[in-house]
Structure 1
Amino acid sequence: MRSPEVVNKIIFRRIMPLLIAAYVMAFIDRTNIGMAKDRMEIDLGISATAYGIGAGLFFLTYALSEIPSNLIMHKVGARFWIMRIMITWGILSACMAFVQGEWSFYILRMLLGIAEAGLFPGVIYFITQWFVVKDRAKANGMFLLGVSIANIVGAPLGGVLLTLDGLGGLHGWQWMFIIEGIPACILAFVVWKCLPNKPTESRFLTREEAEDLEARILAEETAGAKASGNSKLRHVLKDKQILLVVAIYFTHQIAVYALSFFLPSIIGTYGTLNTIQIGLLTSIPWIFSAAGALLLPRLATNASRSRLIATSTMVGIVAGFTLGAVGGPVLGMLGFCLAAFNFFALQPILFTYPATRLSGAALAGGIAFVNTVGLFGGFLGPYVMGFMEETTGSKLSGLWFIVAMCAIGALLTRKLKRGTEDPAKSSVAAH
């Protein structure tokens, strides 16, 4: 039997690229309206406030559907459920091309939220079935590279597709939605063919290796759930640490989606730029976010390091948005790069906490609960940004709300604790 370290490397190589590719497409399809914002306002008469509401409505229906989706995935398996999610969201994303006004915009964004619900928490739960605690922050960070890659690739691609304006009688933004929705449906069948539900169903591990891995993961989950007293889903609502993670994640998501949906339009105020130039500039902060996701989560190997990195990253987000609000084109972009660098250094660490306090179906539901409540920040951030823009006439005014919320999040990170001081140590002792 190969060593756990070798097995771990094999798992990273065999399943993570497929999960990252799925999230790249999901994030492109949920945020590409950022590139279409200004054109849809002109072509359809959608106001900045209505745009912010539509951008955020995705997260309301997404959030409400997440816990049921994750519990279904726990029963039917990741392979089938992720395939279903990808097909439905790909079709609905392409249908965004047929928006006629504010209400059809709202309805399709809500349907897209229902369709995609469960992908992120589902994959985070799936990762807990393949990696022990000390490796999960690294695995979560790699998965979240999908967001960075989506914005690095998606913004310039969207800028190019917007130049197809008039081709076949369609607007450029209509071509963008159609062309970017199709790949998700194709990749769904690759997921069905190549993604095993759990280690003992894989072909790249021996039976002995798979059973040993599942036993080590079960021992960690049992120790963490026993230490925190959480064995059922209803216990999540009474666990102060999980509620603390929810609150921090809420402030984090306000920042992430405010930048995702409004950065192209903020960059558009920096000078006379065409859509391709705006797309290229929009991608720059997300290159930094990819670097943060690769460099920092892997350092979070114990409870104290995780807490320190969580606090540092939230402070970095506050500093970055402050620079974005007060700086011009150069300092502002540097600020957005700083904020983005910290986005996905924090998020993968936050999602290691539920798995040290829950197990089984309670873990699947608990991860979905954290993401569900946290994602209401994905509604609030874009809404406030759009409302403040329309009220003040400045695309930057809403950034101060983001700064205030993330400052609160930074203070809360100092209270984070795991189910045991370090479940990994408990697991080793048990062996």
Structure 2
Amino acid sequence: MSDSIMVGPMADPNKRDRLNGISKKNFGKLMPLLIIVYIISFIDRTNIGMAKEALSADVGLDAAAFGLGAGLFFAAYAFLEIPSNLLMHRFGARFWITRIMITWGLISMAMALTWNEWSFYVLRVLLGIAEAGLYPGIILYITYWFPRHERAKAIGLFLLGVSLANIIGAPLGGLLLQLDGMAGLHGWQWMFIIEGLPAVLLAFVVWFRLPDRPSGASWLSSDEKELLEEQLAAEDDGQGAKAHGFRALIPVAKDPIIWVVIGVYFTHQVAVYSLSYFLPAMVHGFDANMSSLTIGLITAIPWIAAAIGSTLLPRFGTTVMRQKSMVSGGLVSVAIGLVIAAVSQGNLALAVVGFSFAAFWFFVIQSMLFTFPGRRLSGAAVAAGIAMVNMFGLFGGFFGPTMMGALEKSTGNSLSGLWLIIGLAVFGSLLAWALRGSKNDSMA
């Protein structure tokens, strides 16, 4: 039996139906805006994938320098995850997400000033600093609004933003690159400027439309607010409820399951970000005469598959056992898809099928993994736990692109780095079986 039926007021069918109605309202009011925020953030952090060839020609970046610069974003982002999430827990989501969006939008636009390797590295580091805390902050925000059995679905819908960003961003980037020469700017400069501006503008929408907690939701009645808070409090049986500030890290660091989540998430992020940054180059490798728009359209196909996966499957992850099975099986499926792509032998259609099969599972896996900190921790420790998982996991975002660039440079084959990702995905699938929920969680 699902834990969603066993905890607190969810044991009463009438209250359960009322809570489901409240969640439906919250999905409709919150998730569209959160998805749009993440679409823009992901476009701005990964659009350099479309600019890789142009940056090589105009600035002189080779594959290794590009991979290092792509990865430096995550090094800076990761180190500031925990303080950023603790600050959001203290000052509120509306203020903190608005601040993040304004600074990352301005620095994303400043990427147009890149003139050599070191300026590229510095701007990528600054972008990571500016955007630090957005993803774990929103995952924490979801725990304020949705009971446990709804969180995998909510996180899956939020992660739909990643897929839509790649579906929209790749063709859009291809079109913007064709503005090359307009007003004396390169196409990649126009891409950074035009794609960074929406973050600054949307920040003001977030400020006026995003309440910090259910108590500030104009669409919920007083009774609905009270019932939701009662359910969330009944589920809050994790460790660290009384910890504050950096002391909230103590129960996080002591929890072995959080370290399991971190290990699995690392292998997952290596796959996601290696594909995000290097898929356009791998597609281009099949036909050197392919236009930037065609590359963008083909690159979008695996992310359409990822969008389908993140929409269809997370809703079934309502118990710990289901979540473990979907994480482990999903990582095996990622490995299988990448094997198909790696052995495609110049067959672009077969490679796209492999990439699409792997990408289908990306955000199914991620939506399951980020339910575990909320199951095992409470209070400020949840904020610290989510941020710590993302911090260490995102080193995969640094490691993956860096290794992909180095292996491409040493072998001359843009697909050679896939074998490293395949091995890590298999390891992550085995590690996932060590995942556990809290004492009140049913495994069924």
Corresponding residue for residue 294 of structure 2: 277
* TM-score, normalised relative to structure 1: 0.96
Q: Does residue 66 in structure 1 map to residue 81 in structure 2?
A: yes
Name which of 310, 326, 343 aligns with 1:326: 343
Q: Which deviations, in whole Å up to 9, do the C-alpha atoms of 1:87-146 show, x marking residues without a partner?
A: 000000000001010000000000000000000000000000000000000000000000
Cα contact 2:240–2:379 (8 A) shared by 1? no
Corresponding residue for residue 377 of structure 1: 396
Secondary structure of the corresponding residue to residue 3 of structure 1? helix
Structure 2 distance, partners of 1:366, 1:208, is 31
Alpha-carbon spacing, 1:5–1:137, altered in 2? closer, same or farther (3 Å): same
Q: Does residue 349 in structure 1 map to residue 363 in structure 2?
A: no
Name which of 225, 239, 242 aligns with 1:225: 239
Structure 2 distance, partners of 1:29, 1:391, is 28
Cα contact 1:225–1:356 (8 A) shared by 2? no
Alignment of 1:30-179 (within 5 A): 30-179=45-194
Alignment of 1:398-409 (within 5 A): 398-409=417-428
C-alpha displacement at 1:232, in angstroms? 4.0
Alignment of 1:201-280 (within 5 A): 201-221=216-236, 223-225=237-239, 232-271=248-287, 272-280=289-297
Structure 1 distance, partners of 2:440, 2:171, is 44
C-alpha displacement at 1:421, in angstroms? 5.7
Structure 2 distance, partners of 1:194, 1:226, is 31
Uncovered stretches (5+) of structure 1, i.e. residues with no partner = 426-431
Name which of 318, 331, 334 aligns with 1:314: 331
Cα contact 2:156–2:363 (8 A) shared by 1? yes
Look up the equivalent residue of 1:293 and give its one-letter code.
S
Cα contact 2:240–2:380 (8 A) shared by 1? no
* TM-score, normalised relative to structure 2: 0.93
Name which of 176, 193, 201 aligns with 1:186: 201
Identity of aligned residues (%): 53
Structure 2 distance, partners of 1:85, 1:274, is 35
Uncovered stretches (5+) of structure 2, i.e. residues with no partner = 1-14
Structure 2 distance, partners of 1:146, 1:423, is 30
Look up the equivalent residue of 1:301 and give its one-letter code.
T
C-alpha displacement at 1:236, in angstroms? 1.1
Cα contact 1:225–1:419 (8 A) shared by 2? no
Q: Which deviations, in whole Å up to 9, do the C-alpha atoms of 1:44-89 show, x marking residues without a partner?
A: 1111100000000000000001100000000110001000000000
Cα contact 2:321–2:443 (8 A) shared by 1? no
Corresponding residue for residue 412 of structure 1: 431
- Provide runs of 4+ in structure 1 moved above 6 Å: none
Q: Does residue 291 in structure 1 map to residue 308 in structure 2?
A: yes
Structure 1 distance, partners of 2:75, 2:98, is 22
Cα contact 1:309–1:346 (8 A) shared by 2? yes
Using the TM superposition, name which of 35-44 and 202-211 deviates more. Answer: 202-211
Cα contact 2:152–2:314 (8 A) shared by 1? yes
Q: Which deviations, in whole Å up to 9, do the C-alpha atoms of 1:373-429 show, x marking residues without a partner?
A: 00000000000000001101110111111011111001111111111362699xxxx
Structure 2 distance, partners of 1:399, 1:118, is 29
Name which of 328, 336, 354 aligns with 2:355: 336
